[in-house]
Amino acid sequence: MSKIGRMPIAFTSAKITINGTKVLVDGGKAKFEHILPETVKIAVADNMLRLTVTEDTRANRMLWGLHRALLANKVTGVEKGFETKMVIVGLGYKAIQSGTKLTFTLGYTHKIEFDVPAAVTVEVDKTGQLLTLKSADKFELGNVADKIRSFRPPEPYKGTGVMYQGEKIHRKAGKTKSS
C-alpha cells in the first residue's frame, strides 16, 4: 500500500467537482484542473478527498501517491496559497520592481530584466534584498524562484548571491599564502 496515497486530503473552502477522471478544484485564489489516470479512483465525503487504486501493482501504487500529492498541493494552493522568501546578499546587489517586471543588479555589467508570470506575485522590500514570492500554484512558484536564483547562485567563498531564506551555504576557505 502507498503510505502517501492512502492519506485523505482535507479541504474546507475549496469546491471540488469530479467528472470521470477529471477533477476540478476551485477556490478563492485560483482554479485548477487535474486529470487522474484510469487506475486511480477518487471519492469525496465529509470534506475529505480519498484516492484509491483499482489494481494493486507497483506502478499503480506509485501513480496513487504521485496524484494524491499533486491534488493535495492544488487544494492547499487554492485555499491558503504558497510563499517563498529569497534573500539577495552582496554589495550593491538588489532587485527593483516595476509592475510585473523585476530588474536585478547582481554585479554584472548589465541589469537583468525578468518578467514575472501572472500566476506569481512578488513583493520586494525597500532595501531591494528580500523578495517574497506568492502563488497558488506550487509548481509555478518553484520554477520562478529557481529561475531568479539562477541569475546569481550563491557562491561558497564570499557567500554572496541570490538564495532562499534560511538556506545554508557550505563555505570554503580561500587560498592561503605559502611561505
| pLDDT at position 1 | 54
Domains, the chain, with CATH or none: 9-79 (3.90.930.12), 82-164 (3.90.930.12)
**Global pTM value:** 0.87
d(CA 85, CA 145): 9
d(CA 105, CA 92): 7
| pLDDT at position 3 | 84
**SS3 state of residue 123:** strand
Query: Degrees (nearest 5) of the Cα angle 109, 110, 112?
Result: 140
Q: What stretches in the chain show pLDDT beneath 50?
A: none
| pLDDT at position 175 | 84
| pLDDT at position 112 | 95
| pLDDT at position 149 | 96
DSSP 172: -
